Amino acid sequence: MDNASYLTDQPFTDLDLAPELIRGLETAGFSHCTQIQQLALPLVLAGKDVAGQAKTGTGKTAAYLLAIFNRLLRQSPHAEHGAKSVRAVVLAPTRELAIQIHRDAAQLCQHTALRMGLVYGGTGYQDQTEALSHGVDVLIGTPGRFIDFYKQGLFDLKGVQVLVLDEADRMFDLGFIRDIRYVLRRMPPPAERLNMLFSATLSRRVTELAYEHMNDPISIKVESDTPVADQLIEEVYYPANEEKLGLLVGLLKKLAGERVLIFCNMRGTTEKIGRLLERQKYSVGVLSGDVPQKKRERLLEEFTLGHRQMLVATDVAARGLHIPSVSHVFNFDLPQDPEDYVHRIGRTARAGASGHAISFACEDHAFSLIDIESFIGHTLNKQEILPQDIASLKTSQQDRARKPQRKTESPSPSLTPDASAEESAQRRSANVVKTMESGNSSVQETSPLAANESRTVAEAAPSTAPYALTRPSGKSPFPGRRSSEVPAVG
C-alpha cells in the first residue's frame, strides 16, 4: 500500500478510529492522513455517504478500508442473518485491483478478528469457495465472479452494512453497470447501509449512479489544477510509425537499472515488444487480458519485487496498482481515452516520488494527444528525436515467420523496426494530407515539414512535431471509441 502523497499534519490518532486500526496503521508505517483521508474519514465515521475524487496514489483505498473496519468493529453483526451474511462489500473493475485491495485490507486489519474474502475470475473456484464456506465479514471482488458465487448461495447480502465501489467510472467502461445494479438491489436500502464511491475521475454517469443508489451522498474532491502528480515529468515524441520500436529501445538504453512500465493498446503489440526487449537482454514480462490469471499474478509480483526490470502491458495494469519504484512509464501507443492516460502515468511518481511519463504521438494516435492535453489542462513537453535516439534494430527470422508479408502489400509501418534512418527521414519530410470525416465536418490532417526542416541522417535538427493537426474545436475524431483491448474482468 502506498505511503500516499499529499500528507497533512493531521495524525490518525486525532480521528475516532478503533485502537486496533491505529495499531495496524503504525505497524504499516502510517501516522498522518492524506488530503483525501482528512476529508473523507470524518464524514464516513459520522455515518455520511461519500463520493470521493482524488488523484491516483493519494490514499483513497486506505480511506474507505479504515471506514469499513471501524464501522464493523463498532457494530455487531445481525444474528438473524446467519453465518453466510456478508457485512461489507467492495467491488472493483479488474482482478489486479481487487487483489491489491485485499492485500491492503489484510495489512490494515491485521490486529483485528475481521475475516476477509476475495473473489475474482480467471482462477479456480475451490480456494475461493472454501474461504466463503467459513464466513467472511468483508468480501472484495470483481462483479462477474461475485454474482456467480451469490447465485450459488455461498453468501447473502441481507446484512450488508457498508458498500464501496472502487474505480466506478471503469465499471461503466467495462459494461458492469447492469451487474452493479443487480448486486445493489439485493442489499438493504441505501439508508440502512454506509455507501462510498471513490475514483481518480468521476464522470457524470458515475455521479448519477451515486445519487441513484446512495443516501444523499456528500461529494468531496482534492482540488488540483491537474489530475497529474506535481512531481511527474511528462514528455512526448513524434516518431513516424517505423521509428517507434527503434526509439523505444534507444531511450531505454539510457535508463540503466530503472524500473519501467510500457503501455500498449493491443495484446499483439505487447507480445511483439516483449520479444524485442528479450532479444535486447532485458528482463521483461508481458501482461494482457489473455495471459492466464496465475501467470499475471506471478508477473506482477516479480515486477513489484524488482525481479523483472520491465513490464509491457495493456490497460489491465493501468488502474489502482501500487507498484513501488516505477521510474518511467512509456505510452508506446497513446490511449484514445484521456482518463486512461491519467491512470497509466499514475503508476509512477507515487508516494511523493518523482517520475517520468514518455509518450509517442505517431500519426495513428496523434489526435488523442489533443484530447489528453485538454483533459489534463497543460501541454506535454515536446522532445526532439535525434539520430542517436533511434536504435538500429533487425527483425529476427522468428518474427518474420510469425507474420509473413504478402508480396502485393506494403509491410505495416509499426511492424518494421529495421527501416533505415534515411527512409524515416524521407517519410517524415513528405507532405501527407489525410481527410477524415467526423460527423458532418471534414477534418484535415497535414504533415508537411518545411524545406528547411527536412533532414537526413547527418543532420541533427529534427522537428519536434512532424505533422500539424487541425480539427473543429471540441470534437473528437474518435467519438465513442476506446482502446481495442480492455482489462480482463471478473
The pLDDT of residue 407 is above 70: no
* Domain endpoint, select from 186, 221, 256: 221
Same domain, 56 and 148: yes
* Domain endpoint, select from 221, 254, 274: 221
Same domain, 78 and 156: yes
Same domain, 150 and 271: no
Q: Cα–Cα distances in Å, from 180 out to 16, 53, 370?
A: 31, 20, 33
Alpha-carbon dihedral sign for residues 18, 22, 24, 30: positive
Same domain, 18 and 160: yes
Read off the pLDDT of each residue in 146-172 and give the average, rounded to a whole number.
Answer: 91
Q: Which of 307, 335, 3 is nearest to 317 (CA)?
A: 335
Same domain, 274 and 385: yes
Return mean pLDDT, the chain. 79
Domain range for residue 348?
A: 232-397+411-419
Read off the pLDDT of each residue in 164-186 and give the average, rounded to a whole number.
Answer: 86
> For residue range 298-354, what is the model confidence (pLDDT) as tens digits?
888 899 888 899 999 998 877 756 777 889 999 999 998 888 898 888 888 776 678
* pLDDT-wise least confident of 120-124, 205-209, 467-471, 482-486: 482-486
Give the per-residue pLDDT at 123: 85
Question: Does some domain include residue 146?
Answer: yes
Read off the pLDDT of each residue in 204-216 and give the average, rounded to a whole number.
Answer: 82
Q: Are β-strands 433-438 and 441-446 bridged in parallel, bridged antiparallel, or unpaired?
A: antiparallel
The CATH number covering residue 171 comes to: 3.40.50.300
The pLDDT of residue 397 is above 60: no
Same domain, 11 and 89: yes
Read off the pLDDT of each residue in 163-172 and give the average, rounded to a whole number.
Answer: 85
Question: Which grid cell is 322?
Answer: 501500487
Same domain, 102 and 188: yes
Higher pLDDT, 470 or 72: 72
Same domain, 202 and 289: no
Give the per-residue pLDDT at 484: 40
Question: Does some domain include residue 459?
Answer: no
- Give percent above pLDDT 70 in the chain: 74
Same domain, 140 and 249: no
> For residue range 251-284, what is the model confidence (pLDDT) as tens digits?
999 887 788 999 999 999 999 999 999 999 999 9
Q: How many CB atoms lie within 10 A of CB 331?
A: 26
Give the per-residue pLDDT at 47: 94
Question: Does some domain include residue 438?
Answer: no
Question: Does some domain include residue 483?
Answer: no
Give the per-residue pLDDT at 98: 92
Same domain, 41 and 189: yes
Question: Does some domain include residue 277?
Answer: yes
* Domain endpoint, select from 386, 419, 452: 419
Band (480; pLDDT cuts 50, 70, 90): very low
Same domain, 325 and 347: yes
Domain count, the chain: 2
pTM of the model: 0.63
> For residue range 37-78, what is the model confidence (pLDDT) as tens digits?
999 999 999 999 999 887 766 788 999 999 999 999 998 776
- Give percent above pLDDT 90 in the chain: 46
Same domain, 152 and 96: yes
Band (148; pLDDT cuts 50, 70, 90): very high
Report the DSSP beta bridge partners of residue 236.
Answer: 359, 382
Read off the pLDDT of each residue in 26-31 and give the average, rounded to a whole number.
Answer: 91
Question: Does some domain include residue 475?
Answer: no
Tell me the C-alpha distance between 134 and 127, whole Å: 12
Read off the pLDDT of each residue in 236-265 and give the average, rounded to a whole number.
Answer: 91
* pLDDT-wise least confident of 208-222, 313-327, 439-453: 439-453
Question: Does some domain include residue 2?
Answer: no
Question: Does some domain include residue 291?
Answer: yes
